[in-house]
Structure 1
Amino acid sequence: MTGVISASGSRIGWADLPAKVCAAVEDIVGGEVCEAVSQPGGFSPGSADRVRTTNGRRAFVKAVSPAQNAESPDLHRREARITGTLPPTAPAPRLLGTFEHDGWVVLVLEDVEGRHPRTPWEIGELTAVLDALDDLARQATPTPLPELASTAAQLADDFDGWRRLAADTPDDLDAWAVDQLDDLQRWAARGLAALTGDTLVHLDVRADNLLLRPDGGVSIVDWPWAATGPRWLDALSVLVNVHLYGGVDVEAILAARDTTATADPGDLTGVLVGLTGFFLDYARRPSPPGLPTLRGFQRAQGESTLRWVRARMRE
């Protein structure tokens, strides 16, 4: 598929960080940083650098302050707390250290050698990702962070998107969706009710939040949105991304994987409907500071997932 806006923000880099922040990072890593390579992908205006020290040590550094985006520091704090509590064998980078200085929130993580999955997706890479998500679900059930909000609580306002679209319908909303607004609101409510469970879920699994390692394993990165919910939710989330970029039959995967094949098909449809309303509702809002491509990406996701929803509701 061509023409999809990439999942990326407008980043600062290692050279933009205050000297005291850099020095504190070097204390955690254990050496003077001689190389920093900014990493593309992901919706954050903060830094995301793979760093190497003069003594050969490596780490991945994420840093942000309110000057880039007022909400991002809190997201970094959440990510630090969540990543630091994951089971040690979970398919995710280890947190090496975290600190705050003069408004900056900094995470120093294990540097994972790897690359993002190719898009359009390839079946072998998708299988490896889904296996990793199954492994995570086994290790994170019950959740090691029971104090986290449930996905139902976290997504309640997002899943109300169809109500907002019905109350203020944009002129360019798909004609089929306009005719189905009442049904779409009911489906979204069913989806929200289905978001129960005691599994720690990442809640934002996309190609740019995944690294395929040279040994064939997978690391799942960027954890600020994690919550407690059904063990099939992350698999469904990555299939939204697969449907966006193409390359693999998502319905065939839903039927073939035990995690999703045993879920109620109506619950899956309801969650997809809720996500579609969220994407299309938020896509019409102004871009947040430092995230110029976010709304375009949400629109692309909304239009793609609406096509999937439409096909499922016609079955």
Structure 2
Amino acid sequence: MQHDKAPGRACPVAGASVIDYAATARRLGWGELPAAVRARVAGWTGGRVGSVQLAGGGFTHGFAALVDGPRPLFAKAIALDDPHIAAAYAREVEVLAALPASAPIPALLEHEVVAGWQVLATVPVTGRMPGAPWTVEDARAVHDSCRMSNTVLEAAGPAVVPVAGTMAADWAGFLAGLEGGLEGGLESGADGGGPLTDHGRRPAFLPGWFRGGAGDVLARWILDAASRAPTALAGTTPLNNDLRADNVVIAHAALGGFDAGTAWICDWNFLALGPGWADWVALWPALYDAGLPVAEFTSWELAAGAQEADVDAWLSVLFLYYVQAGSRPPVPTSPELRPHQRLCARQALALLAVRSGC
């Protein structure tokens, strides 16, 4: 699908990110894990651990690292009583156990609860994160891996569907839970953010051209588009539902029958059924912000059958999510999370301004 609306005015993009996505995480180190957990991981690697390379990307504090040894692994671990991410690691085990190994998704190799810790290991993918900066080649690699994953997971439906949520229901719940309701926009946040319909109370992290009265028409357009998200996001394709640069590894070498340069899609604990284009479209704001040609990446195969109004609904509800999340207080264990969400809000807004023509 290629969007052919011309912008009604110049809308600057969010600007180059000052966030180093390869260094956003504040993770537990190898030495901070219980001895029993280290011993179990060592056993999985073949009895000897060489180097341990912590994953710098992501926004959680759980242990996550490439662990070298006779049988290299990508290992994760978190205490079962951790209030923030224990459930996410358990969910990841549940989902990965149901996914087929014939997609560019790191397969689950081992998992166990050890000494009160959830521990898991997947196929290690040695490579790099895309998006620093985004290139057409990396964007195409991610697009093609989304297509492959869609095909494989759709074919594996009976095994995958029972562990999948639905995007339509998830995002309908989000809209219903907005403080003040969708009509009210967003309730006042900790940083002074307020209802989207009141330009005097829009969050300070949004650009000045949107916070003034000139942003009123676009704000209304976004809210109207977002209201259609539950219908727009109906679909039967199992999707990652959290696709972003730091959940992708561009492989340095051939692996598992896939060529070097393949984009491996990681972190599947938000698995949900939706339209096949949704994961790919979620990356569009970042691609636009990076200066990639919109007419090119919006015309690739995954979005060919998407309705423009449905794409606008998805981008609009993502914008509302990032505005709401970015207005919350900082997270001590993840200091870059709120800056990331605020950047994503600005990126989505810039693309929506162009798509709306407002």
TM-score by length of 1: 0.91
Q: Which moved more, 1:95-104 or 1:292-301?
A: 95-104
216, 239, 243: which one pairs with 1:201?
Answer: 239
Which residue in the other structure is 2:114 paired with? 101
Which residue in the other structure is 1:225 paired with? 270
134, 146, 169: which one pairs with 2:161?
Answer: 146
Corresponding letter in the other structure for 1:63: A
Q: CA deviation at 1:156?
A: 2.7
Q: CA deviation at 1:102?
A: 3.9
Which residue in the other structure is 2:341 paired with? 298
Q: Residues 120 and 242 of structure 1 are in contact (CA less than 8 Å); yes or no, is this contact kept in structure 2?
A: no
Q: Residues 201 and 231 of structure 1 are in contact (CA less than 8 Å); yes or no, is this contact kept in structure 2?
A: yes
Q: CA deviation at 1:78?
A: 1.0
Q: CA deviation at 1:117?
A: 1.4
Counterpart check, 1:249 vs 2:293: yes
102, 118, 125: which one pairs with 2:138?
Answer: 125
Q: Residues 152 and 193 of structure 1 are in contact (CA less than 8 Å); yes or no, is this contact kept in structure 2?
A: yes
Aligned ranges 1:253-272 → 2 under 5 Å: 253-255=297-299, 257-272=300-315
59, 64, 83: which one pairs with 2:78?
Answer: 64
**SS at the partner of 1:225?**
coil
- Unpaired stretches in structure 2, ≥5 consecutive residues: 1-14, 189-193, 195-200, 253-259
Aligned ranges 1:1-315 → 2 under 5 Å: 1-7=15-21, 8-53=24-69, 56-65=70-79, 69-141=82-154, 143=157, 144-147=159-162, 148-159=164-175, 161=178, 163=182, 165-168=185-188, 169=194, 170-171=201-202, 172=204, 174-175=210-211, 176-214=214-252, 215-244=260-289, 246-255=290-299, 257-314=300-357
| Partners of 2:251 and 2:168 in 1: CA distance | 32
| Partners of 2:17 and 2:265 in 1: CA distance | 26
Q: Residues 122 and 247 of structure 1 are in contact (CA less than 8 Å); yes or no, is this contact kept in structure 2?
A: no
Corresponding letter in the other structure for 1:24: R
Corresponding letter in the other structure for 2:84: E
TM-score by length of 2: 0.80
| Partners of 2:186 and 2:66 in 1: CA distance | 45
Q: CA deviation at 1:251?
A: 4.2
| Partners of 1:223 and 1:102 in 2: CA distance | 25
Divergent runs of 4+, >6 A: none
Q: CA deviation at 1:14?
A: 1.3
Q: Residues 171 and 229 of structure 2 are in contact (CA less than 8 Å); yes or no, is this contact kept in structure 1?
A: no
Q: CA deviation at 1:277?
A: 0.6
| Partners of 2:271 and 2:29 in 1: CA distance | 26
Q: 1:251 to 1:282 in 2, by over 3 A?
A: farther
Q: Residues 37 and 115 of structure 2 are in contact (CA less than 8 Å); yes or no, is this contact kept in structure 1?
A: no
Q: Residues 28 and 96 of structure 1 are in contact (CA less than 8 Å); yes or no, is this contact kept in structure 2?
A: no
Q: Residues 166 and 181 of structure 1 are in contact (CA less than 8 Å); yes or no, is this contact kept in structure 2?
A: no
Which structure: larger Rg?
A: 2
Corresponding letter in the other structure for 1:117: P
